[in-house]
Amino acid sequence: MSYNLLKGKKGLIFGALNDKSIAWQVARRAAEEGAELVLTNTSVAIRMGDINKLGEDINAPVIASDATDIDDLDNLVKKTKEHFGGGFDFVLHSVGMSPNVRKRRPYDDLNYEYLKKTLDISAISFHKLIQTLKKHDALNEWGSIVALTYIAAQRTLFEYNDMAEAKAMLESIARSFGYIYGREKHIRINTVSQSPTMTTAGSGVKGIDGLMDFTERMSPLGNATAEECADYTITLFSDLTKKVTMQNLYNDGGFSSMGMSRRAMHMYNKSLSGDCDGNE
């Protein structure tokens, strides 16, 4: 159902790879709510994924850009402004990747060159993006920027690895830049902390099936899907949330406030055959 929440608004969306991507669902919902969009991803992702199909479906141009590359970001922001004939209103940063996770390097045997890449792609790219937007004065007054994050920024979750550091930095950038951009142009910056979700990036996390079952059992409302993340994100782009800024907002069915639930306890009790080190 459409509420015309984004009628007359224009936005730039990073990170739609295929129809499992959270950014894909956000783009689809934003278009349904009346927004005009520009989509972006790396040239490899554009070649390997389905983003061009999404662009055709919602009538949005696709512009290649590596979110870690300042020249690419410069070009992207310039071209997006050209396309819209001026400034725009919202941006979604839905970008994440860890070479340590991909190459199965455990947290106590990290490759530090990979760690630099994890931080650059998954966190510093957010700073680079906002700095570039600001330099080009690309966002309209009362605009909104959202990045996607995960609760591993606050709590240790087995196998999330160096992405935990990246998410902690990402959330901090939202606060630090949220102050500056808010003060100077009433731009709000928030992060949405999403439930584990079966996307291409999500399925790279070791043990994702067990994790999703656990968080589903622990959350009174159950895990939030990519579509539900899109619904929530749309409200943050709309004029209904103009004074919400510098926040990390959980879209996780209540997981972040839970310690133990009846459904999780039931499962745990059933499997009390091993010791605390996981040995049978």
Ligand X SMILES: NC(=O)c1ccc[n+]([C@@H]2O[C@H](COP(=O)([O-])OP(=O)(O)OC[C@H]3O[C@@H](n4cnc5c(N)ncnc54)[C@H](O)[C@@H]3O)[C@@H](O)[C@H]2O)c1
Q: By the criterion CB under 6 A, which residues form the site for ligand X?
A: 14-15, 17, 20-23, 41-42, 45, 66-68, 94-97, 121, 148-150, 194, 196-197, 199-202
C-beta of 14 vs 84, nearer to ligand X: 14
CB of 185 to ligand X, least distance (A): 25
Cβ contacts of 5 within 8 Å, gap of 6 or more: 33, 34, 234, 235, 237, 238, 239, 240
- Name the residue nearer to ligand X (CB basis): 15 or 143: 15
Residue with tokens 């129809």: 19
Q: How far is the CB of 42 from ligand X (least distance, A)?
A: 5
Residue 89 phi, psi (nearest 5): -115, -25
Whether 28 and 54 have beta carbons less than 8 Å apart is answered as: yes
Cα distance between residue 18 and residue 27, in whole Å: 12
| Smallest gap from residue 25 Cβ to ligand X (A) | 8
Task: Name the residue nearer to ligand X (CB basis): 92 or 138.
Answer: 92
Tell me whether residue 41 or residue 100 sits nearer to ligand X (CB atom): 41
Do residues 140 and 89 lie in contact, with contact meaning Cβ atoms separated by under 8 Å? yes
The minimum distance between CB 146 and ligand X, in angstroms, equals 11
Residue closest to ligand X (Cβ): 202
The residue among 140 and 166 lying less far from ligand X, judged by its C-beta, is 166
Sign of CA dihedral 137, 142, 148, 151: positive
Residues making up the chain, counted from first to last: 280
Q: How far is the CB of 55 from ligand X (least distance, A)?
A: 13
